[in-house]
Structure 1
C-alpha cells in the first residue's frame, strides 16, 4: 500500500516537474519580482539583498557556461558569460551607489526571460 502511494506521488511530481528552460524562466521571474520590490524603496539593506540575489544567479550562469559540456554552442556560452559579467559589474556599482537605478538589471532579466519563453514555444 505504502509503495503504491509513493509511486503515485512520484508519478505526479514527474508529470508536473519543470523542464530546464522552465526552471530557468522561473528563476528570472523571481529575480524580477525581487528587484521590482526594492526598485523604488529607500531601504539600502533590502536593496543590497536583492542585488546579492541578482549577483548569485548571474554567478551561477557564468559558472555553468565556463565549462565546455557540449550542450551549448561556444558562441552562446560566450554570450552568456559576457552578459553575466556585465550584469554583475552593474550590480556591484548599484551596491556601492544606492542612487544608481536598478531598472537596467530588471530590463536585462526581462529580456532573458522573454528569450527563454520564446524558445520554449518552439
Structure 2
C-alpha cells in the first residue's frame, strides 16, 4: 500500500522515513521478479496446449490497436493543469472622476456637486 499525501506529511513532520510506510510489494526486487519470465499474448479463442508447449503463438500476427486522429485543427497551446492557471492582470480599481474616491464612477456618484 502507498500512503496518502496526509500520511506522508505526518511522517515527514515526525521524521519517519516515508519509504518504510510503503508496502514491500512495490519494491524494485518484486517488480523485476514479476517481469523476469516471458509474457505471451493470448488469442481470442484462448491458448491451446500445443501453443503452450512451444512457448508462444505460432503463425499469429498481432497488430497494434487501430486509432484515429481526432477531427479539427490541433491546439497551439497546451491545456494547463489546475495548479498552472495563469491569472490575468489584476482588475483596475474604479475611481470616480468627480469625487476621486474608489469603488464607483461619476455616473453612480452620490456625492454632492
TM-score by length of 2: 0.24
Query: Which one has the bigger helix percentage?
Result: 1
TM-score by length of 1: 0.22
Q: Which has the higher contact order (CA 8 A, sep 6+)?
A: 1
